[in-house]
Amino acid sequence: MYEGNSLKGNQWKGDGIDLEDPYEILGISENASELEIEEAFQRLMKALDPSNPGIWALWTPEELNQLREKVQRAFSELMQRKPLCDKESFSFFKKRTLSRETLELIKAKKGLGGEALKDIREHLNLSLEEVSSFLKITKKTLIALENEDFNNLPPWVYLKGFLRAYAKLLGIEEEEEEELLKSFEERYQKFRSRT
């Protein structure tokens, strides 16, 4: 036995309600290592076993099977990613930044939003998989981000964090980063007020 901080218990993201994010389904933070992901998966599968004492007070065996399937899918999704990048790759990423002109061009075209992020990413020859694996954000969320598909994006408090991380990765500087966040938030609030 050794002492440790809660298995990301107080740091897990999301609001705990049925979202589709695999980290949330497994109850781990986005910084979880592969080992932690696997441990969480195994613990959950064992915990949701219909033969566990007392568990029928909470779920029927059918509901438990559904939950287990969901956990399995979440685990597969996380394991399909490329291995996490190390420090070397980070400096490799850092070397690629957009020239001022190109950035202005992109900004002029459609303003600073999801589309701009996609454009910049493509200009830098970064694939969605690379970005996803480096930022530890699922590909699905990245696509939703670039398409401003708010239905598939988490609440603003988390979305903000993703945007900042993504902006940093793409070499977007502070002033533009704030602009990006502001315009994103405007459209996010508009979406929220409609639903």
Which distant-in-sequence residues (6+ apart) come within 8 Å of 148 by Cβ?
A: 113, 114, 115, 184, 187
- Say whether residue 12 binds another protein (CB under 8 A): yes
CB of 49 to another protein, least distance (A): 8
Answer whether 18's CB lies under 8 Å from 33's CB: no
Our CA angle for 23, 26, 28, nearest 5°, is 60
- Say whether residue 193 binds another protein (CB under 8 A): no
Task: Pick the binder of another protein from 31, 33, 34, 58 (CB under 8 A).
Answer: 58
**Cβ atoms within 10 Å, residue 178:** 14
Distance in angstroms (rounded) separating the CA atoms of residues 153 and 148: 8
Answer whether 59's CB lies under 8 Å from 75's CB: no
- Say whether residue 151 binds another protein (CB under 8 A): no
CB of 44 to another protein, least distance (A): 5
- Say whether residue 17 binds another protein (CB under 8 A): yes
- Say whether residue 65 binds another protein (CB under 8 A): no
Count residues binding another protein (CB under 8 A). Answer: 31
92 CA to centre of own chain: 22
- Part in contact with another protein (CB under 8 A); list of ranges 8-16, 144-152, 158-166, 172-180: 8-16
| Binding stretches for another protein (CB under 8 A) | 1-7, 9-10, 12, 15-18, 27, 43-44, 46-48, 52-60, 67, 155
